[in-house]
Structure 1
Amino acid sequence: MASTLRQTTLACALLAGVLAASPALAHEAGDVLVKVGVTHVEPKSNNGTVANGAVKLDIDGSTRPSLSLTYMATRNIGIELLAAVPFKHTINAKGLGEIGSTKQLPPTLSVQWHFLPESTVQPYVGVGLNYTTFFSTKSALGDLSLGDSWGVAAQAGMDIQLNERWFLNADLRYIDISSTVRLNGANIGKTRIDPWVATVGVGYRF
């Protein structure tokens, strides 16, 4: 029994030594994380009405390449900026079909809390501010335009460490996006997009 205990103690000591000598996988204060991936924007199902409630809008989803930069202020606190190739959405009117299309850019600045900075799987949550600008809006009905939007964003995700520098990333956001709809310069209503935004990608730690 004593011999087994000594062997177990020795094995634990050797394992601790190996782990101590392994490259640190934790994000450290001052690190810059660059993540490249694919982001899908999925608006909520009911996107509001225009023309005094006579026309219900439905805006479809869009998937594009994305890039994010995160600065680790501490081992637990990260400041992240999300950017992407412009998303393109089809604008549908229920009962009428497609009535137009638009493009948008939704840069989002978030503050994150990383729960387990020393773990191979590092979950985090974040809250931030989103600015969405719409452009290249087209419609057969006339000069259709969507106003820009400011709103809050909430986020949950994880980094999965592959080695000292490389990691996989997945996260999910909810973004508050609403926009004033104008046709030929006249305000005809408001649309609420409020999408879920899912991203998967790979990251490198500098």
Structure 2
Amino acid sequence: MKLQSLVLVAAAFTMTTAFAVPAGTWSVAAGAHMVNPKSDNGTLADGTLSVEVDDDIRPTISGEYFFADNVGVELLAAIPFHHDITLTDADGNKIDAKTQHLPPTLSLQYHFDGYDLPMNVKPFVGVGINYTTFFKERIYLGNGNDLELDDSVGVAGHVGLDIPFAPTEAFRIDARYMDIKTDASLNGNDIGEVDISPWVYGVAFVKQF
């Protein structure tokens, strides 16, 4: 009897938490993401300085419009991410720098449905374009030195999983790859390219309208 009751409860839960996404639906996802730059961020000053960019976590929000069943266009936004930058020469001497950036990302996404996965979880995949703008750059190299990082445009990939707990609500886990490369200049002189190209990991609460 206990086993039968558990099966009935599980079946009822599955039936009431379907997360179908019909055309014309809007969804909003609010959560947080960690920008995790690739381990080798390039070199500057003719290869004399190696670059290391650290991680950061910030609140994010995204909106998605489904123009066809299970097919949507999503825009990701966030408050500015903050990154410490370490430049290291061949002798191990270090120069500290920092920047802030905003990485709005527009993606075309497909949400898989009808695969009878446990708890009606909904995987999705997406591909799109990322635009990253850098600001408040600073380098700790004495007074009067001005570091600038150019804006970046690149492709972005997205994979994730929505875990529904109500007919129009779900918990989301996701990961994105963003192609972010920025030309760096010091006092107006080009000193090379910083290759950030991070994986971006996140969790969010999703609500359909």
| TM-score, normalised by the number of residues in structure 2 | 0.85
Q: Which amino acid aligns with 2:77?
A: A
Cα displacement (A) at 1:74: 1.5
Given the superposition, is the C-alpha separation of residues 117 and 179 from structure 1 closer, same or farther in structure 2, using an over 3 Å criterion? Answer: farther
Against the structure 1 CA distance between its residues 65 and 151, is the aligned structure 2 distance closer, same or farther, given a 3 Å change threshold? same
CA contact (8 A) 1:134 1:146 kept: yes
Alignment length, in residue pairs? 191
Letter in 2 for 1:66: T
The answer as to whether partners of 1:90 and 1:98 remain within 8 angstroms in 2 is no
Gaps of 5+ in 2: 1-11
Alignment partner of 1:101 is 2:93? no
- The 2-side partners of 1:56 and 1:97 are apart by 10
Partner of 1:166: 169
3-state SS of paired residue (1:44): coil
Q: What RMSD, in angstroms, separates the aligned Cα atoms of the two structures?
A: 2.1
**Residue range with higher mean Cα deviation, 131-140 or 69-78:** 69-78
> Where in structure 1 do 4 or more consecutive aligned residues deviate above 4 Å?
21-24
Letter in 1 for 2:23: A
Percent identity of the aligned residues? 44
Asked whether 1:92 is paired with 2:86, we answer yes
10, 21, 25: which one pairs with 2:19?
25
Once the two structures are TM-superposed, the CA of residue 101 in structure 1 deviates from its matched residue by 0.4
Q: Aligned to 1:73, what secondary structure does the other structure show?
A: strand
Judge conservation of contact 1:75–1:117 (CA < 8 Å) in 2: no
- Counterpart CA distance in 2 for 1:37 and 1:117 is 26
State the partner residue of 2:130.
130
C-alpha change, 1:124 and 1:100, in structure 2 (3 Å) is: same
User: Aligned with 1:25: secondary structure?
Assistant: coil
Supply the distance in 2 between the matched residues of 1:23 and 1:203 (Cα, whole angstroms). Answer: 13
Q: For the residues of structure 2 that align with 1:201 and 1:110, how far apart are their CA atoms?
A: 17
Distance in 1, matches of 2:57 and 2:17, equals 36
Runs of 5+ consecutive residues of structure 1 not aligned to the other structure: 1-17
Tell me whether 1:178 sits opposite 2:181 in the alignment.
yes
Q: CA deviation at 1:138?
A: 0.8
Q: How does 1:1-206 map to 2 (within 5 A)?
A: 22=16, 25-94=19-88, 95-116=92-113, 120-141=120-141, 142-206=145-209
Which has the larger Rg? Answer: 1
Q: Using the TM superposition, give the Cα deviation of residue 147 of structure 1 relative to its aligned residue in structure 2, in angstroms.
A: 0.4
Please, what TM-score do these two structures have when normalized by structure 1?
A: 0.87
